Amino acid sequence: MSPLQRELQLVKNIAVEAGKIILSHYDTDYQVQMKSGEEPVTIADKTSSRYIVNALQQAYPNDAIVSEENDLPTNLKTAERIWVIDPMDGTKEFIKHNGEFAVMIGLVQAGDPVLGVVYQPVNEKMYWGIHGQGAFMAQTHIQTPLQLKVSGEDKLKALRIAASRSHYTPEIKNIYRALGLNNVVQSGSLGLKFAMIARQICDIYFNLSNVTSCWDTCAPEVILKEAGGRISNLSGTRLTYTFSHVKNRNGVIATNGPIHDYLVEKIQDLLIQRAKSQLATFQ
156-179 pLDDT, tens per residue? 889 999 998 877 777 888 889 989
What would the pLDDT profile of 76-106 be if each residue is shown by its tens digit? Answer: 989 999 999 999 999 999 999 999 999 999 9
What would the pLDDT profile of 196-253 be if each residue is shown by its tens digit? Answer: 999 999 999 999 888 899 999 999 999 999 999 999 999 999 999 989 889 999 999 9
pLDDT score at 37: 66
The percent of residues in the chain predicted with pLDDT above 70, rounded, is 96
Domain boundaries, the chain: 5-147, 156-282
The percent of residues in the chain predicted with pLDDT above 90, rounded, is 77
CATH number of 5-147: 3.30.540.10
- Residue 237 carries which side chain, given as an amino acid letter? T
pLDDT score at 139: 87
Q: Give mean pLDDT, residues 40-64.
A: 96
Q: Which residue, among 81, 92, 121, has the nearest Cα to 104 in the 3D structure?
A: 121
Q: Give mean pLDDT, residues 104-133.
A: 97
Query: What band does 5 get if pLDDT is binned at 50, 70 and 90?
Result: very high
**From the CB of residue 244, how many other CB atoms can be counted at a distance below 10 Å?**
6
CA–CA distance, 234 with 89 (Å, rounded to integer): 22
DSSP state of 242: S
**How many H-runs (helices) and E-runs (strands) does the chain carry?**
7, 14
Measured between its terminal Cα atoms, the distance across the chain in Å is: 64
Q: Residues 67, 49: contact at Cβ < 8 Å?
A: yes
Helix orientation angle between 260-282 and 170-179, rounded to the nearest 10 degrees? 120
pLDDT score at 169: 78
Show the CA angle centred on residue 157, arms to residues 186 and 178, nearest 5°: 80
- Beta strand pairing status for 183-187 and 160-164? parallel
Query: What band does 283 get if pLDDT is binned at 50, 70 and 90?
Result: low
CA–CA distance, 81 with 20 (Å, rounded to integer): 27
Residue 185 burial by CB count (10 A; 0-12/13-18/19+): exposed, middle or buried?
middle
CATH number of 156-282: 3.40.190.80
Q: What is the mean pLDDT of the chain?
A: 92
pLDDT score at 205: 96
- Residue 135 carries which side chain, given as an amino acid letter? A
pLDDT score at 209: 86
pLDDT score at 279: 59
